[in-house]
Structure 1
Amino acid sequence: MTSRYAEVHKNPQGPGDARPTAQQIIDDEGLKGQLADRYMLITGASSGIGVESAKALFATGATLYLTGRNLDKTKKALGELASSPRVHILELDLESLSSVRACAAELLSKTKTLNVFIANAGVMATPEGRTKDGFETQFGTNYLSQFLLFLLIRPALLEGAAVTGSDSRIILLSSIAHRYSEVDFENINLDGAYDKWKAYGQSKTALLWAANEIDRRYASKGLRAFSVQPGGIQTGLLQHLSEEEKAGLASDPTLGPQFKSPPQGAATSVWGAVSRSLEGIGGKYLEDVQIAKPYDASEGQWAPGYFPHAYSPAKEKLLWDMSLKILGIEE
């Protein structure tokens, strides 16, 4: 399925070109002020596309729950939004499972219904390290904590669907980097085999698989899930790259023009969260404000599309079961 935005993505001209912004998605969908009865959670709303997603979705009239590791930084990044009675800022450190549990408890003390969850926060290409619970930094931060957060707020998402009569939606931010690595079930922490890009790729494949499995398990209960490749965006996510690495990415004749501004980078997440064109659909990898197609190697290294392992029902179930075991959660 192609979207109304497919054509404009065929010849990108760099950040700020004709590709849509998150706010344009809201305008095109006619949703300004139309979702006053909806409740939305966005992680990582202290910078980059998390802030832009929040700004666009705020325009719908929805009540927003926005997380950040540093509350002062988050409030500063959100500007005027932070003082709105429709915006609730929650502390969340994704390197700590106890912080995830505390955040979920605080959220559920404020609302019993959720309609949208965008798992936006993440880190990329970090030096080898461990979270406070002993997991490889990127797997633990990008995937495992967000998966635990989903499990804890799942009742509110199901209730949101029941109350409104329309599907709740989950957006898990994956990446083109899912193509770098599947999940290494035998060595999840990559002990003795750490590579920053393999670790990042593993975490992004895990998010893609989790979205597929969530959708498979909960679609019949009114909960749909998508994974999103937001595109290349110059944000704080690049902080662990050397200047040489950053310059190399930006100067690549194929990749350079594909880079997006933060408002454009948030467009696919917002489209996935609210577009009417996706009603009744789920378990899809979204890219460039459309449902992605398979990757075609003949189109070059940076061409859009997903690798064959992106849809792997057996491995998706294996990851689900392993994650529950790691987290000590029984279903």
Structure 2
Amino acid sequence: MHGVPWGILQWFILFWVTMSSGLEERHSMVVWVTVFGLHPELRQIYYKFRRSCNIIPKSLQFNPTFNFTPITLLLKFSLHNFNMSRYASLYTNPQGPGDSRPTALQVVQDEQMQNQLIGKTAVITGVSSGIGIETARALAVTGIKLFLTARNLDKAKEALADFWNPDQMDLVQLELSSLDSVRVAAKTILSKTDELSIFIANAGVMAVPELTTTADGFEEQFATNHLSHFLLFELLKPSLLKASTEKFQSRVVVVSATAHRMQGIPASNDYNYETSGASAYTPWEAYARSKTANTYMANEIERRYGYRGIHATSVAPGLVASNIGRHIPQEVMAGVIGDKMHEVQSLEQAAASTLVAAVGREWEGRGGVYITNCSAAERGEDDGVSTSYTYVSHTYNPKDEQRLWNDSLKMVEKWNDYSTEDI
């Protein structure tokens, strides 16, 4: 404790009081950034304590380079408070697609990020349709180099034609239902860059009607929405670590969904309904499980790698008309939306939260948070409602987050180039 002022130690005690009562709701995040950003030595003490408790794997190393001065933190929190309230009023009275709610491009403009990421690199999965197109369109304005993945490259070329720039963008074939394809895609990307500043796990499937198993033996929604993105992160992780700087720490944005509120993750022996059986499968439950897995992946990335300069958030785009629901009959989708047609957004608006997480200054050096409507979601009722923008008790569950991570490592071990001790 040598060199740590008593005043800071008092803040440390206050922090743990906050942690004990507010871990689930993440209220302690503000205390953590304030205290440990101000004093690197105390931050390292806290890091070592978390490693000793196995909250962070002992194989991970503390990165001492990401520190902030008091004035930097004051500016950061002033900007954070401004940005968190900037869009709040625009979501209070939605009027349907194209209303006053922000678009992804507006977020980039409001953040004054035009041409500010030249020389950096990003990966976005699923750009042949839906919000993936608008995510790529808006992120391109920052000047960042884009690796864009799609299952069907011809379809992607057509979808991206009106803003395609061959000097800035590369298309990479990726079939997320195949872990072999994930491995090939990662190698393709890494053959062209060894530094990656932003990884957006956007692609997904929704409510597959019947229990379907991939060639690798995994339930399709779990494999496509979670497991393949988990493997892709593992393979791209060295480039994310290398690219992270004090000015712009690497970011991972995992696209979850409000539907995650319906269901947590299953037991470790039932991810693929191997225990409960095919008769237990329902399209929406499986989708919700996979979306909770998306949120858990982001939370656990932050826990394991936030100290090393990789920060992860999960985002819910909200209600939007896109082809992710192509499996769902129109009458079923109408029942899901119910009387919330006025909350439906355009694709450009639905991508806004992703851009806030990817380039918003309020998320610099922060993560482990579930974002809706361009802001950290507030606590809601545990009512199982799939269209609410609040979070529920299982949205943050460190025990299950770590269990899913360890289970996922085992499931992708055959395709993973790195052991848990390598990086």
For 1:288 and 1:136, locate their aligned partners in 2 and report how far apart those are by CA, in whole Å. Answer: 30
Equivalent residue runs for 1:186-265 within 5 Å? 186-190=269-273, 191-192=277-278, 193-250=280-337, 252-253=338-339, 255-265=340-350
Which protein is bigger by CA-based radius of gyration? 2
For 2:387 and 2:217, locate their aligned partners in 1 and report how far apart those are by CA, in whole Å. Answer: 33
For 2:136 and 2:386, locate their aligned partners in 1 and report how far apart those are by CA, in whole Å. Answer: 32
* Equivalent residue for 2:203, pick from 121, 125, 133: 121
1:327 matched to which residue of 2?
Answer: 412
RMSD after superposition: 1.6
Comparing 79-88 with 109-118, greater Cα deviation is found at 79-88
How many residue pairs match? The answer is 328
Whether 1:143 and 2:230 are equivalent positions in the alignment is no
1:173 matched to which residue of 2?
Answer: 255
Match of 2:355, SS? Answer: helix
Equivalent residue runs for 1:288-327 within 5 Å? 288-296=373-381, 302-327=387-412
The alpha-carbon distance between structure 1 residues 157 and 27, as it changes in their structure 2 partners (threshold 3 A), is: same
Query: Is the CA contact (8 Å cut-off) linking 1:296 and 1:303 kept in structure 2?
Result: no
Match of 2:86, SS? Answer: coil
2:148 matched to which residue of 1?
Answer: 66
Give, in angstroms, the shift of residue 95 of structure 1: 0.5
TM-score normalised over the length of structure 1: 0.95
In structure 2, give the amino acid aligned to 1:271: V
For 2:153 and 2:386, locate their aligned partners in 1 and report how far apart those are by CA, in whole Å. Answer: 39
Query: Is the CA contact (8 Å cut-off) linking 1:214 and 1:224 kept in structure 2?
Result: yes
For 1:3 and 1:88, locate their aligned partners in 2 and report how far apart those are by CA, in whole Å. Answer: 36
In structure 2, give the amino acid aligned to 1:152: L
For 1:306 and 1:124, locate their aligned partners in 2 and report how far apart those are by CA, in whole Å. Answer: 20
Whether 1:11 and 2:11 are equivalent positions in the alignment is no
2:122 matched to which residue of 1?
Answer: 40
Query: Is the CA contact (8 Å cut-off) linking 1:249 and 1:256 kept in structure 2?
Result: no
Q: 1:300-323 deviations in whole A, cap 9, x for unaligned?
A: 774321111111111111011111
Give, in angstroms, the shift of residue 81 of structure 1: 3.2
For 1:310 and 1:179, locate their aligned partners in 2 and report how far apart those are by CA, in whole Å. Answer: 7
Give, in angstroms, the shift of residue 247 of structure 1: 2.9
For 1:87 and 1:51, locate their aligned partners in 2 and report how far apart those are by CA, in whole Å. Answer: 13
Give, in angstroms, the shift of residue 166 of structure 1: 2.2
In structure 2, give the amino acid aligned to 1:123: V
Query: Is the CA contact (8 Å cut-off) linking 1:82 and 1:89 kept in structure 2?
Result: no
TM-score normalised over the length of structure 2: 0.75
- Percent identity over paired residues: 44
Runs of 4+ with >6 A deviation: none
Query: Is the CA contact (8 Å cut-off) linking 1:227 and 1:286 kept in structure 2?
Result: yes
Query: Is the CA contact (8 Å cut-off) linking 1:211 and 1:227 kept in structure 2?
Result: yes
Query: Is the CA contact (8 Å cut-off) linking 1:8 and 1:18 kept in structure 2?
Result: yes
The alpha-carbon distance between structure 1 residues 178 and 240, as it changes in their structure 2 partners (threshold 3 A), is: same
The alpha-carbon distance between structure 1 residues 301 and 273, as it changes in their structure 2 partners (threshold 3 A), is: closer
For 1:324 and 1:303, locate their aligned partners in 2 and report how far apart those are by CA, in whole Å. Answer: 31
For 1:7 and 1:302, locate their aligned partners in 2 and report how far apart those are by CA, in whole Å. Answer: 19
Give, in angstroms, the shift of residue 194 of structure 1: 0.5
Q: 1:41-75 deviations in whole A, cap 9, x for unaligned?
A: 00001111000000001011111000000000001
In structure 2, give the amino acid aligned to 1:111: T
Q: 1:71-95 deviations in whole A, cap 9, x for unaligned?
A: 0000100014334310000000000
Which residues of structure 2 form unaligned runs of 5+?
A: 1-80
Give, in angstroms, the shift of residue 10 of structure 1: 1.1
In structure 1, give the amino acid aligned to 2:372: E
Q: 1:75-131 deviations in whole A, cap 9, x for unaligned?
A: 100014334310000000000000000000000001010110000000000022011
For 1:99 and 1:234, locate their aligned partners in 2 and report how far apart those are by CA, in whole Å. Answer: 28
For 2:386 and 2:223, locate their aligned partners in 1 and report how far apart those are by CA, in whole Å. Answer: 28
